[in-house]
Structure 1
Amino acid sequence: MSASVERWLTLEGLSNVRDVGGLPLRGGGTTRGGVLLRSESLHFCTPGDVEHLVDVFGLKLVLDLRTRREIERDGPTAVARAGVETVALTFIPEDGRELPETDGVDPLVHIYLGYLRNRPDNVVAAVRRLAAVDAGPALVHCAAGKDRTGTLVALVLDAVGVERDAVVADYALSGEQIEAMFRRWTTASGEPMPADLTPHIPRAAAMAEVLATLDAEHGTDGAGGAAGWLLAHGLDEADLEHLRKRLTESS
Protein backbone atom coordinates (compact mmCIF):
# COMPACT_ATOMS: atom_id res chain seq x y z
CA MET A 1 0.00 0.00 0.00
CA SER A 2 1.38 3.41 -0.91
CA ALA A 3 2.05 6.11 1.65
CA SER A 4 -0.59 8.32 0.04
CA VAL A 5 -3.28 5.68 0.60
CA GLU A 6 -2.25 5.01 4.19
CA ARG A 7 -2.67 8.68 5.04
CA TRP A 8 -6.30 8.90 3.93
CA LEU A 9 -9.05 8.59 6.53
CA THR A 10 -11.95 6.48 5.31
CA LEU A 11 -15.10 8.27 6.46
CA GLU A 12 -18.76 7.96 5.45
CA GLY A 13 -19.56 11.58 4.62
CA LEU A 14 -16.15 13.01 3.71
CA SER A 15 -13.66 12.18 0.97
CA ASN A 16 -10.72 14.58 1.25
CA VAL A 17 -9.46 13.94 4.79
CA ARG A 18 -5.88 12.92 5.42
CA ASP A 19 -3.19 12.97 8.07
CA VAL A 20 -0.08 15.04 7.35
CA GLY A 21 2.08 12.52 9.19
CA GLY A 22 4.80 10.48 7.53
CA LEU A 23 6.24 13.19 5.28
CA PRO A 24 10.06 13.33 4.95
CA LEU A 25 12.03 16.15 6.56
CA ARG A 26 14.94 17.90 4.89
CA GLY A 27 17.35 16.92 7.66
CA GLY A 28 16.01 13.40 8.20
CA GLY A 29 12.99 12.15 10.10
CA THR A 30 9.31 12.59 9.30
CA THR A 31 6.23 14.48 10.35
CA ARG A 32 4.23 12.93 13.19
CA GLY A 33 0.97 11.15 12.54
CA GLY A 34 -2.06 11.75 14.72
CA VAL A 35 -1.37 15.46 15.18
CA LEU A 36 -2.89 17.28 12.21
CA LEU A 37 -5.61 16.40 9.71
CA ARG A 38 -6.54 18.40 6.61
CA SER A 39 -10.07 18.17 5.29
CA GLU A 40 -12.88 19.51 3.16
CA SER A 41 -15.84 21.12 4.95
CA LEU A 42 -17.23 19.05 7.81
CA HIS A 43 -20.79 19.82 6.69
CA PHE A 44 -21.44 16.24 5.53
CA CYS A 45 -20.01 14.50 8.61
CA THR A 46 -22.15 11.54 9.70
CA PRO A 47 -22.55 10.50 13.35
CA GLY A 48 -20.05 7.72 12.62
CA ASP A 49 -17.57 10.23 11.22
CA VAL A 50 -17.90 12.39 14.32
CA GLU A 51 -17.33 9.37 16.54
CA HIS A 52 -14.21 8.44 14.58
CA LEU A 53 -12.77 11.96 14.61
CA VAL A 54 -13.53 12.64 18.27
CA ASP A 55 -13.20 9.26 19.95
CA VAL A 56 -10.65 7.50 17.73
CA PHE A 57 -8.49 10.32 16.43
CA GLY A 58 -8.99 12.36 19.60
CA LEU A 59 -9.76 15.62 17.81
CA LYS A 60 -9.51 18.67 20.09
CA LEU A 61 -9.31 21.65 17.73
CA VAL A 62 -10.82 22.57 14.36
CA LEU A 63 -9.64 25.57 12.35
CA ASP A 64 -12.36 26.62 9.90
CA LEU A 65 -10.91 28.78 7.11
CA ARG A 66 -14.22 29.50 5.39
CA THR A 67 -15.83 32.93 5.23
CA ARG A 68 -18.53 34.04 7.63
CA ARG A 69 -21.08 33.75 4.80
CA GLU A 70 -20.11 30.13 4.14
CA ILE A 71 -20.31 29.26 7.82
CA GLU A 72 -23.69 30.96 8.29
CA ARG A 73 -25.08 29.25 5.19
CA ASP A 74 -24.22 25.73 6.40
CA GLY A 75 -24.67 26.19 10.16
CA PRO A 76 -22.59 24.65 12.96
CA THR A 77 -20.85 21.40 12.09
CA ALA A 78 -21.65 18.16 13.89
CA VAL A 79 -18.08 18.15 15.16
CA ALA A 80 -18.59 21.55 16.79
CA ARG A 81 -21.89 20.36 18.27
CA ALA A 82 -19.98 17.41 19.74
CA GLY A 83 -17.93 19.88 21.77
CA VAL A 84 -14.74 20.18 19.70
CA GLU A 85 -13.34 23.71 19.86
CA THR A 86 -13.89 25.30 16.46
CA VAL A 87 -12.13 28.54 15.52
CA ALA A 88 -13.12 30.53 12.42
CA LEU A 89 -10.17 32.19 10.68
CA THR A 90 -11.14 33.20 7.17
CA PHE A 91 -8.37 33.76 4.61
CA ILE A 92 -10.66 35.84 2.39
CA PRO A 93 -11.64 39.47 3.17
CA GLU A 94 -15.22 39.59 4.39
CA ASP A 95 -15.95 42.84 2.55
CA GLY A 96 -15.99 41.03 -0.77
CA ARG A 97 -13.39 43.23 -2.46
CA GLU A 98 -11.83 41.83 -5.58
CA LEU A 99 -8.17 40.91 -5.92
CA PRO A 100 -6.19 43.14 -8.32
CA GLU A 101 -5.42 42.00 -11.85
CA THR A 102 -3.05 39.04 -12.14
CA ASP A 103 -0.69 40.63 -14.68
CA GLY A 104 0.12 37.28 -16.23
CA VAL A 105 0.61 35.44 -12.94
CA ASP A 106 -0.98 31.99 -12.63
CA PRO A 107 -4.43 32.68 -11.15
CA LEU A 108 -3.96 30.05 -8.43
CA VAL A 109 -0.63 31.55 -7.42
CA HIS A 110 -2.27 34.97 -7.32
CA ILE A 111 -5.12 33.66 -5.14
CA TYR A 112 -2.83 31.83 -2.72
CA LEU A 113 -0.46 34.76 -2.30
CA GLY A 114 -3.60 36.89 -1.92
CA TYR A 115 -4.51 34.93 1.23
CA LEU A 116 -1.14 35.88 2.70
CA ARG A 117 -1.36 39.48 1.56
CA ASN A 118 -4.98 40.11 2.58
CA ARG A 119 -5.28 38.13 5.84
CA PRO A 120 -1.79 37.67 7.31
CA ASP A 121 -3.29 38.12 10.77
CA ASN A 122 -5.51 35.06 10.41
CA VAL A 123 -2.82 32.99 8.70
CA VAL A 124 -0.44 33.61 11.60
CA ALA A 125 -3.22 33.09 14.16
CA ALA A 126 -3.96 29.70 12.59
CA VAL A 127 -0.32 28.63 12.78
CA ARG A 128 -0.08 29.90 16.36
CA ARG A 129 -3.07 27.76 17.35
CA LEU A 130 -1.52 24.70 15.72
CA ALA A 131 1.77 25.38 17.52
CA ALA A 132 0.23 25.59 21.00
CA VAL A 133 1.73 22.89 23.19
CA ASP A 134 -1.68 21.96 24.63
CA ALA A 135 -3.61 22.12 21.33
CA GLY A 136 -4.07 18.36 21.01
CA PRO A 137 -4.91 16.71 17.68
CA ALA A 138 -6.21 19.31 15.22
CA LEU A 139 -8.02 19.51 11.89
CA VAL A 140 -7.87 22.31 9.32
CA HIS A 141 -10.56 22.69 6.69
CA CYS A 142 -12.14 25.10 4.23
CA ALA A 143 -14.75 24.14 1.61
CA ALA A 144 -12.96 21.58 -0.57
CA GLY A 145 -9.80 21.30 1.52
CA LYS A 146 -7.50 22.17 -1.35
CA ASP A 147 -6.94 25.95 -1.72
CA ARG A 148 -7.17 27.73 1.62
CA THR A 149 -6.38 24.55 3.53
CA GLY A 150 -3.71 23.68 0.99
CA THR A 151 -2.00 27.04 1.41
CA LEU A 152 -1.98 26.90 5.21
CA VAL A 153 -0.79 23.29 5.36
CA ALA A 154 1.95 23.97 2.80
CA LEU A 155 3.18 26.90 4.92
CA VAL A 156 3.17 24.74 8.04
CA LEU A 157 4.94 21.82 6.39
CA ASP A 158 7.58 24.04 4.80
CA ALA A 159 8.12 25.88 8.08
CA VAL A 160 8.80 22.67 10.01
CA GLY A 161 11.28 21.44 7.39
CA VAL A 162 9.38 19.00 5.16
CA GLU A 163 11.14 18.31 1.86
CA ARG A 164 9.83 20.67 -0.79
CA ASP A 165 8.73 17.95 -3.21
CA ALA A 166 6.72 16.32 -0.40
CA VAL A 167 5.04 19.62 0.51
CA VAL A 168 3.96 20.15 -3.08
CA ALA A 169 2.87 16.53 -3.50
CA ASP A 170 0.72 16.72 -0.37
CA TYR A 171 -1.01 19.81 -1.73
CA ALA A 172 -1.67 18.15 -5.10
CA LEU A 173 -2.98 14.95 -3.50
CA SER A 174 -6.42 16.54 -3.01
CA GLY A 175 -6.87 16.20 -6.76
CA GLU A 176 -7.53 12.49 -6.23
CA GLN A 177 -10.79 13.32 -4.44
CA ILE A 178 -12.22 16.12 -6.58
CA GLU A 179 -14.67 13.88 -8.42
CA ALA A 180 -15.89 12.21 -5.21
CA MET A 181 -16.48 15.58 -3.55
CA PHE A 182 -18.36 17.04 -6.49
CA ARG A 183 -20.47 13.91 -6.77
CA ARG A 184 -21.49 14.23 -3.12
CA TRP A 185 -22.20 17.96 -3.40
CA THR A 186 -24.23 17.71 -6.60
CA THR A 187 -26.19 14.73 -5.31
CA ALA A 188 -27.14 16.71 -2.22
CA SER A 189 -28.07 19.84 -4.18
CA GLY A 190 -29.71 18.14 -7.16
CA GLU A 191 -27.44 19.98 -9.57
CA PRO A 192 -25.68 18.20 -12.46
CA MET A 193 -22.03 17.22 -12.25
CA PRO A 194 -19.76 19.74 -14.02
CA ALA A 195 -18.80 18.56 -17.48
CA ASP A 196 -15.13 19.35 -16.82
CA LEU A 197 -13.54 19.15 -13.37
CA THR A 198 -10.08 20.14 -14.61
CA PRO A 199 -10.31 23.78 -13.40
CA HIS A 200 -10.95 22.51 -9.86
CA ILE A 201 -7.94 20.18 -9.67
CA PRO A 202 -4.98 21.56 -7.69
CA ARG A 203 -1.85 22.08 -9.78
CA ALA A 204 1.45 21.18 -8.19
CA ALA A 205 3.25 23.86 -10.20
CA ALA A 206 1.11 26.57 -8.59
CA MET A 207 2.08 25.66 -5.03
CA ALA A 208 5.71 25.21 -6.06
CA GLU A 209 5.65 28.78 -7.41
CA VAL A 210 4.05 30.14 -4.22
CA LEU A 211 6.76 28.55 -2.09
CA ALA A 212 9.49 29.71 -4.47
CA THR A 213 8.14 33.25 -4.11
CA LEU A 214 8.37 32.98 -0.33
CA ASP A 215 11.90 31.59 -0.67
CA ALA A 216 12.94 34.59 -2.73
CA GLU A 217 11.40 37.08 -0.32
CA HIS A 218 11.93 35.40 3.07
CA GLY A 219 14.23 32.38 2.76
CA THR A 220 17.50 32.36 4.73
CA ASP A 221 20.46 29.98 5.03
CA GLY A 222 18.93 27.47 2.65
CA ALA A 223 15.71 27.22 4.68
CA GLY A 224 12.31 27.49 3.07
CA GLY A 225 10.69 30.91 3.02
CA ALA A 226 7.49 29.97 4.87
CA ALA A 227 9.17 30.22 8.27
CA GLY A 228 10.63 33.61 7.35
CA TRP A 229 7.23 34.85 6.17
CA LEU A 230 5.55 33.73 9.39
CA LEU A 231 8.21 35.35 11.58
CA ALA A 232 8.02 38.56 9.54
CA HIS A 233 4.25 38.69 10.15
CA GLY A 234 4.19 38.21 13.90
CA LEU A 235 4.85 34.55 14.74
CA ASP A 236 7.33 34.18 17.59
CA GLU A 237 10.45 32.02 17.35
CA ALA A 238 9.08 30.09 20.35
CA ASP A 239 5.85 29.38 18.44
CA LEU A 240 7.83 28.12 15.46
CA GLU A 241 9.88 25.83 17.69
CA HIS A 242 6.73 24.49 19.36
CA LEU A 243 5.25 23.83 15.91
CA ARG A 244 8.33 21.86 14.89
CA LYS A 245 8.28 19.81 18.08
CA ARG A 246 4.58 19.01 17.70
CA LEU A 247 4.74 18.01 14.07
CA THR A 248 8.12 16.34 13.60
CA GLU A 249 10.12 13.43 14.91
CA SER A 250 13.70 12.42 14.16
CA SER A 251 14.51 9.19 12.36
Structure 2
Amino acid sequence: MNRHLAFERLHNFRDVGGYPGEGGRPVRQGRLYRSDSLGKLRGEDWDRFLTLGIGTVIDLRYDWEIAAKGRVPEAPGLRYHHLSIEHRPYDQAALGPEVETGRFLADRYAEVAHDGAVELRRALEVIAAEDSGPVVFHCASGKDRTGLLAALVLSLLGVAEDDIVADFALTGLATERLLADWRADHPGQEPVWPGYGRVPADIMRFFLADLAAAHGSVHAYATNSSSVPRRNWWRPCAATCSNPPGESGCPGRGPGHPIGPRPIAGRSLPAQRGVTPYARWRTDHRRRGATWLTPSGVRARGHGSPASGFPCWTSSSRHDSAGSPCWCGCSC
Protein backbone atom coordinates (compact mmCIF):
# COMPACT_ATOMS: atom_id res chain seq x y z
CA MET A 1 0.00 0.00 0.00
CA ASN A 2 1.04 3.60 -0.60
CA ARG A 3 1.19 5.16 2.85
CA HIS A 4 2.14 8.66 1.72
CA LEU A 5 -0.75 11.09 1.35
CA ALA A 6 -0.32 13.63 -1.42
CA PHE A 7 0.21 17.27 -0.42
CA GLU A 8 1.89 20.06 -2.33
CA ARG A 9 3.97 21.47 0.53
CA LEU A 10 4.11 18.47 2.89
CA HIS A 11 6.53 15.75 1.80
CA ASN A 12 6.31 13.08 4.50
CA PHE A 13 2.66 12.81 5.58
CA ARG A 14 1.59 9.20 5.89
CA ASP A 15 -0.75 6.76 7.60
CA VAL A 16 0.80 4.70 10.40
CA GLY A 17 -1.98 2.07 10.25
CA GLY A 18 -2.22 -1.19 8.37
CA TYR A 19 0.71 -3.09 9.87
CA PRO A 20 -0.03 -6.47 11.50
CA GLY A 21 -0.05 -5.98 15.25
CA GLU A 22 -0.60 -8.12 18.32
CA GLY A 23 -2.31 -11.40 17.47
CA GLY A 24 -2.08 -10.61 13.76
CA ARG A 25 -4.73 -7.89 14.04
CA PRO A 26 -3.88 -4.94 11.78
CA VAL A 27 -3.34 -1.49 13.22
CA ARG A 28 -6.36 0.61 12.27
CA GLN A 29 -5.93 2.90 9.29
CA GLY A 30 -7.12 6.48 9.20
CA ARG A 31 -6.57 6.90 12.94
CA LEU A 32 -2.90 7.83 13.30
CA TYR A 33 -0.70 9.83 10.96
CA ARG A 34 2.89 11.09 11.00
CA SER A 35 4.19 14.10 9.12
CA ASP A 36 6.77 16.77 8.54
CA SER A 37 5.97 20.28 9.79
CA LEU A 38 2.29 21.18 9.62
CA GLY A 39 3.31 24.83 9.75
CA LYS A 40 3.53 24.57 5.95
CA LEU A 41 -0.21 23.90 5.56
CA ARG A 42 -2.12 26.46 3.54
CA GLY A 43 -4.47 26.71 0.56
CA GLU A 44 -5.44 23.41 -1.03
CA ASP A 45 -3.15 21.52 1.35
CA TRP A 46 -5.13 22.86 4.30
CA ASP A 47 -8.41 21.86 2.65
CA ARG A 48 -7.01 18.37 2.06
CA PHE A 49 -5.91 18.14 5.69
CA LEU A 50 -9.38 19.06 6.94
CA THR A 51 -10.99 16.23 4.92
CA LEU A 52 -9.06 13.71 7.05
CA GLY A 53 -11.13 14.62 10.11
CA ILE A 54 -8.04 14.91 12.32
CA GLY A 55 -8.95 15.93 15.85
CA THR A 56 -5.54 16.16 17.53
CA VAL A 57 -2.10 17.44 16.52
CA ILE A 58 1.06 16.65 18.50
CA ASP A 59 3.93 19.00 17.68
CA LEU A 60 7.30 17.56 18.76
CA ARG A 61 9.45 20.58 17.83
CA TYR A 62 11.32 23.17 19.90
CA ASP A 63 9.71 26.50 20.74
CA TRP A 64 12.17 28.30 18.48
CA GLU A 65 11.31 26.05 15.53
CA ILE A 66 7.64 26.90 15.91
CA ALA A 67 8.44 30.61 16.23
CA ALA A 68 10.48 30.47 13.01
CA LYS A 69 8.30 28.18 10.88
CA GLY A 70 4.82 28.41 12.37
CA ARG A 71 2.41 25.79 13.67
CA VAL A 72 -0.68 24.05 12.33
CA PRO A 73 -3.48 26.59 11.68
CA GLU A 74 -6.22 26.73 14.25
CA ALA A 75 -9.56 25.16 13.43
CA PRO A 76 -12.77 24.44 15.39
CA GLY A 77 -12.42 21.16 17.29
CA LEU A 78 -8.72 20.73 16.48
CA ARG A 79 -6.69 20.13 19.64
CA TYR A 80 -3.02 21.08 19.66
CA HIS A 81 -0.37 19.61 21.99
CA HIS A 82 3.15 21.02 21.98
CA LEU A 83 5.45 18.34 23.41
CA SER A 84 9.09 19.09 22.61
CA ILE A 85 10.80 15.73 23.14
CA GLU A 86 14.36 16.64 22.14
CA HIS A 87 16.29 18.69 24.70
CA ARG A 88 19.78 18.77 23.18
CA PRO A 89 19.84 20.82 19.96
CA TYR A 90 22.37 19.92 17.29
CA ASP A 91 22.81 20.84 13.63
CA GLN A 92 22.77 17.69 11.49
CA ALA A 93 23.63 19.50 8.27
CA ALA A 94 26.86 20.86 9.82
CA LEU A 95 28.22 17.50 11.00
CA GLY A 96 31.49 16.34 9.50
CA PRO A 97 31.62 13.68 6.77
CA GLU A 98 33.41 11.33 9.17
CA VAL A 99 30.27 10.96 11.35
CA GLU A 100 28.69 7.54 10.76
CA THR A 101 24.95 7.97 10.22
CA GLY A 102 23.46 4.89 11.89
CA ARG A 103 25.35 4.84 15.17
CA PHE A 104 25.37 8.62 15.59
CA LEU A 105 21.62 9.09 15.13
CA ALA A 106 20.76 6.02 17.19
CA ASP A 107 22.71 7.58 20.06
CA ARG A 108 20.81 10.86 19.60
CA TYR A 109 17.52 8.92 19.68
CA ALA A 110 18.60 7.29 22.94
CA GLU A 111 19.21 10.76 24.39
CA VAL A 112 15.73 11.84 23.29
CA ALA A 113 14.18 8.73 24.86
CA HIS A 114 15.85 9.64 28.15
CA ASP A 115 15.61 13.43 28.17
CA GLY A 116 12.11 13.56 26.71
CA ALA A 117 10.61 10.64 28.62
CA VAL A 118 7.91 12.77 30.23
CA GLU A 119 6.88 14.36 26.93
CA LEU A 120 6.96 11.02 25.12
CA ARG A 121 4.80 9.42 27.77
CA ARG A 122 2.32 12.28 27.46
CA ALA A 123 2.29 11.88 23.66
CA LEU A 124 1.46 8.19 24.07
CA GLU A 125 -1.35 9.08 26.47
CA VAL A 126 -2.80 11.58 23.98
CA ILE A 127 -2.63 9.05 21.15
CA ALA A 128 -4.34 6.40 23.28
CA ALA A 129 -7.11 8.70 24.57
CA GLU A 130 -10.56 7.72 23.31
CA ASP A 131 -11.60 11.33 22.70
CA SER A 132 -8.54 12.31 20.65
CA GLY A 133 -10.08 11.38 17.32
CA PRO A 134 -7.65 10.77 14.47
CA VAL A 135 -4.20 12.01 15.56
CA VAL A 136 -1.19 13.32 13.66
CA PHE A 137 2.23 13.87 15.22
CA HIS A 138 5.08 15.67 13.55
CA CYS A 139 8.45 17.39 13.91
CA ALA A 140 10.27 19.41 11.22
CA SER A 141 11.10 16.74 8.63
CA GLY A 142 8.99 13.89 10.02
CA LYS A 143 12.11 11.74 10.27
CA ASP A 144 13.94 11.58 13.61
CA ARG A 145 11.67 12.73 16.44
CA THR A 146 8.58 11.62 14.54
CA GLY A 147 10.22 8.31 13.62
CA LEU A 148 11.12 7.65 17.24
CA LEU A 149 7.54 8.20 18.46
CA ALA A 150 6.14 6.11 15.61
CA ALA A 151 8.48 3.27 16.58
CA LEU A 152 7.29 3.40 20.20
CA VAL A 153 3.62 3.36 19.19
CA LEU A 154 4.02 0.50 16.74
CA SER A 155 6.11 -1.51 19.21
CA LEU A 156 3.44 -1.13 21.90
CA LEU A 157 0.83 -2.34 19.39
CA GLY A 158 2.82 -5.51 18.78
CA VAL A 159 4.09 -4.65 15.30
CA ALA A 160 7.16 -6.66 14.28
CA GLU A 161 10.54 -4.96 14.32
CA ASP A 162 11.03 -5.48 10.58
CA ASP A 163 7.81 -3.57 9.90
CA ILE A 164 8.81 -0.79 12.32
CA VAL A 165 12.15 -0.43 10.57
CA ALA A 166 10.42 -0.48 7.16
CA ASP A 167 8.04 2.28 8.28
CA PHE A 168 10.99 4.35 9.47
CA ALA A 169 12.81 3.86 6.15
CA LEU A 170 9.82 5.15 4.12
CA THR A 171 11.03 8.68 4.88
CA GLY A 172 13.70 7.94 2.27
CA LEU A 173 11.01 8.50 -0.37
CA ALA A 174 10.76 12.11 0.80
CA THR A 175 14.49 12.79 1.24
CA GLU A 176 15.05 14.72 -1.99
CA ARG A 177 12.10 17.03 -1.36
CA LEU A 178 13.21 17.60 2.23
CA LEU A 179 16.70 18.43 0.98
CA ALA A 180 15.16 20.86 -1.51
CA ASP A 181 13.43 22.62 1.40
CA TRP A 182 16.77 22.86 3.23
CA ARG A 183 18.49 24.35 0.18
CA ALA A 184 15.67 26.88 -0.20
CA ASP A 185 16.29 27.98 3.40
CA HIS A 186 20.08 28.09 2.83
CA PRO A 187 20.66 29.60 -0.64
CA GLY A 188 23.94 28.64 -2.24
CA GLN A 189 24.78 26.07 0.44
CA GLU A 190 24.91 22.29 0.65
CA PRO A 191 24.71 20.15 3.80
CA VAL A 192 28.22 19.26 4.98
CA TRP A 193 27.07 15.90 6.34
CA PRO A 194 26.46 13.23 3.68
CA GLY A 195 24.00 11.57 6.07
CA TYR A 196 21.68 14.57 6.23
CA GLY A 197 18.12 13.52 5.41
CA ARG A 198 19.11 9.86 4.97
CA VAL A 199 17.35 7.03 6.79
CA PRO A 200 19.44 3.85 6.78
CA ALA A 201 17.62 1.02 8.54
CA ASP A 202 20.39 0.47 11.07
CA ILE A 203 19.47 3.75 12.82
CA MET A 204 16.20 2.25 14.03
CA ARG A 205 17.62 -1.23 14.61
CA PHE A 206 20.38 0.19 16.82
CA PHE A 207 17.89 2.36 18.71
CA LEU A 208 15.41 -0.43 19.42
CA ALA A 209 18.22 -2.75 20.52
CA ASP A 210 19.67 -0.06 22.81
CA LEU A 211 16.26 0.69 24.33
CA ALA A 212 15.62 -2.99 25.01
CA ALA A 213 19.08 -3.40 26.51
CA ALA A 214 18.57 -0.43 28.83
CA HIS A 215 14.97 -1.11 29.90
CA GLY A 216 14.24 -4.74 29.05
CA SER A 217 11.66 -3.88 26.39
CA VAL A 218 9.91 -0.96 24.75
CA HIS A 219 6.85 -1.72 26.90
CA ALA A 220 8.96 -1.52 30.07
CA TYR A 221 10.39 1.82 28.92
CA ALA A 222 6.95 3.25 28.17
CA THR A 223 5.43 2.14 31.46
CA ASN A 224 8.37 3.23 33.61
CA SER A 225 9.47 6.39 31.80
CA SER A 226 7.57 8.68 34.14
CA SER A 227 10.25 7.99 36.73
CA VAL A 228 12.82 9.90 34.66
CA PRO A 229 13.09 13.44 36.10
CA ARG A 230 11.93 16.15 33.71
CA ARG A 231 14.87 17.85 32.00
CA ASN A 232 17.19 16.78 34.79
CA TRP A 233 20.22 17.25 32.54
CA TRP A 234 19.95 21.03 32.61
CA ARG A 235 18.15 21.64 35.89
CA PRO A 236 20.09 23.39 38.66
CA CYS A 237 20.50 21.20 41.72
CA ALA A 238 18.01 21.49 44.55
CA ALA A 239 20.98 21.22 46.90
CA THR A 240 24.68 21.81 46.26
CA CYS A 241 27.22 19.66 44.47
CA SER A 242 30.93 19.47 44.95
CA ASN A 243 33.60 19.11 42.30
CA PRO A 244 36.90 17.50 43.25
CA PRO A 245 39.91 19.69 42.44
CA GLY A 246 40.96 19.30 38.82
CA GLU A 247 37.80 17.59 37.58
CA SER A 248 36.57 19.18 34.35
CA GLY A 249 39.15 21.92 34.85
CA CYS A 250 37.53 23.05 38.08
CA PRO A 251 39.78 24.87 40.55
CA GLY A 252 38.35 22.90 43.47
CA ARG A 253 35.79 25.27 44.89
CA GLY A 254 34.50 22.45 47.06
CA PRO A 255 31.09 21.76 48.57
CA GLY A 256 28.60 24.57 48.85
CA HIS A 257 29.50 26.28 45.57
CA PRO A 258 26.21 27.72 44.18
CA ILE A 259 24.79 26.02 41.11
CA GLY A 260 23.82 28.14 38.14
CA PRO A 261 25.30 30.44 35.47
CA ARG A 262 27.06 33.68 36.27
CA PRO A 263 29.08 36.23 34.25
CA ILE A 264 32.67 35.04 33.89
CA ALA A 265 35.63 37.00 32.49
CA GLY A 266 33.39 39.99 31.91
CA ARG A 267 30.81 38.10 29.83
CA SER A 268 27.15 38.55 30.68
CA LEU A 269 24.25 36.14 30.25
CA PRO A 270 21.42 38.16 28.66
CA ALA A 271 17.86 37.26 29.53
CA GLN A 272 15.26 36.32 26.95
CA ARG A 273 11.55 36.83 27.45
CA GLY A 274 9.90 33.67 28.72
CA VAL A 275 13.19 31.81 29.09
CA THR A 276 15.36 31.82 32.18
CA PRO A 277 18.99 32.88 31.68
CA TYR A 278 19.99 29.39 32.83
CA ALA A 279 17.85 27.60 30.26
CA ARG A 280 18.93 29.95 27.47
CA TRP A 281 22.60 29.59 28.37
CA ARG A 282 22.31 25.81 28.44
CA THR A 283 20.63 25.78 25.00
CA ASP A 284 23.15 28.09 23.36
CA HIS A 285 26.03 26.39 25.15
CA ARG A 286 25.10 22.94 23.85
CA ARG A 287 24.32 24.17 20.36
CA ARG A 288 27.72 25.77 19.87
CA GLY A 289 29.84 23.93 22.37
CA ALA A 290 32.53 21.33 22.06
CA THR A 291 32.77 18.04 23.90
CA TRP A 292 35.81 16.58 25.65
CA LEU A 293 36.67 14.05 28.29
CA THR A 294 38.01 15.08 31.66
CA PRO A 295 41.00 13.31 33.22
CA SER A 296 38.56 11.25 35.27
CA GLY A 297 36.77 10.10 32.12
CA VAL A 298 33.63 12.17 32.74
CA ARG A 299 32.16 13.65 29.58
CA ALA A 300 31.98 17.43 29.87
CA ARG A 301 30.67 20.10 27.56
CA GLY A 302 31.75 23.68 27.16
CA HIS A 303 32.12 26.57 24.76
CA GLY A 304 35.18 25.84 22.63
CA SER A 305 37.62 24.52 25.21
CA PRO A 306 38.15 24.32 28.97
CA ALA A 307 40.31 27.44 28.71
CA SER A 308 37.62 29.52 26.98
CA GLY A 309 36.66 31.45 30.10
CA PHE A 310 33.05 30.25 30.00
CA PRO A 311 31.47 28.09 32.71
CA CYS A 312 31.80 24.37 32.20
CA TRP A 313 29.49 21.68 33.52
CA THR A 314 30.29 18.10 34.26
CA SER A 315 27.72 15.31 34.14
CA SER A 316 28.39 13.36 37.27
CA SER A 317 26.91 10.67 39.47
CA ARG A 318 26.07 13.26 42.12
CA HIS A 319 22.46 13.70 43.11
CA ASP A 320 20.54 16.57 44.61
CA SER A 321 18.44 16.44 47.76
CA ALA A 322 15.52 15.10 45.71
CA GLY A 323 17.62 12.14 44.57
CA SER A 324 17.88 13.28 40.94
CA PRO A 325 21.09 13.52 38.89
CA CYS A 326 22.37 17.07 38.61
CA TRP A 327 24.94 19.17 36.80
CA CYS A 328 27.75 20.69 38.84
CA GLY A 329 29.24 23.93 37.59
CA CYS A 330 32.41 25.89 37.98
CA SER A 331 34.70 28.24 36.06
CA CYS A 332 37.07 26.66 33.58
TM range (shorter): 0.7 to 0.9
Tell me which residue corresponds to 1:130: 127
Tell me which residue corresponds to 1:91: 85
Which residues of 2 match residues 9-24 of structure 1 at below 5 A?
A: 9-24=5-20
What residue identity is the alignment partner of 1:85?
A: R
Structure 2: give runs of 5+ residues left out of the alignment.
92-99, 228-332
Q: Does 1:226 align with 2:218?
A: yes
8 Å Cα contact 2:110-2:211 kept in structure 1: no
What residue identity is the alignment partner of 2:131?
A: D
Structure possessing the higher radius of gyration over alpha carbons: 2
Which residues of 2 match residues 202-221 of structure 1 at below 5 A?
A: 202-219=199-216
Tell me which residue corresponds to 1:118: 115
8 Å Cα contact 1:178-1:197 kept in structure 2: no
Q: CA deviation at 1:214?
A: 2.3
Q: CA deviation at 1:193?
A: 5.3
* Pairs aligned (count): 218
Per-residue Cα deviation, 1:79-103 (whole angstroms, up to 9, x for no partner): x356622111111227x699xxxxx
Tell me which residue corresponds to 2:142: 145
Per-residue Cα deviation, 1:207-233 (whole angstroms, up to 9, x for no partner): 1111112223334xxxxx211101012
What residue identity is the alignment partner of 1:75?
A: G
Per-residue Cα deviation, 1:92-139 (whole angstroms, up to 9, x for no partner): 227x699xxxxx991111100101111111010111110101110011
What residue identity is the alignment partner of 2:80?
A: T
Q: CA deviation at 1:46?
A: 2.5
Tell me which residue corresponds to 2:70: 75
Aligned in 2, Cα 1:69/1:81: closer, same or farther, shift over 3 Å?
A: farther
Q: CA deviation at 1:191?
A: 4.5
User: Per residue, is there more helix in 1 or in 2?
Assistant: 1
8 Å Cα contact 2:139-2:146 kept in structure 1: yes
Aligned in 2, Cα 1:168/1:187: closer, same or farther, shift over 3 Å?
A: same
Structure 1: give runs of 5+ residues left out of the alignment.
99-103, 220-224, 236-251
Distance in 2, matches of 1:52 and 1:146, equals: 22
Distance in 1, matches of 2:76 and 2:192, equals: 37
What residue identity is the alignment partner of 2:148?
A: T
Tell me which residue corresponds to 1:187: 184
Q: CA deviation at 1:194?
A: 4.4
Superposition RMSD in Å: 2.5
TM-score w.r.t. structure 2 length? 0.60
Distance in 2, matches of 1:22 and 1:138, equals: 15
SS of equivalent residue, structure 2 residue 226? coil
8 Å Cα contact 1:218-1:228 kept in structure 2: yes
Tell me which residue corresponds to 1:240: none
Distance in 2, matches of 1:92 and 1:83, equals: 28
Distance in 1, matches of 2:208 and 2:193, equals: 28
**Which structure's relative contact order is higher, taking Cα pairs within 8 Å and 6+ residues apart?**
1
What residue identity is the alignment partner of 2:153?
A: V
SS of equivalent residue, structure 1 residue 31? coil
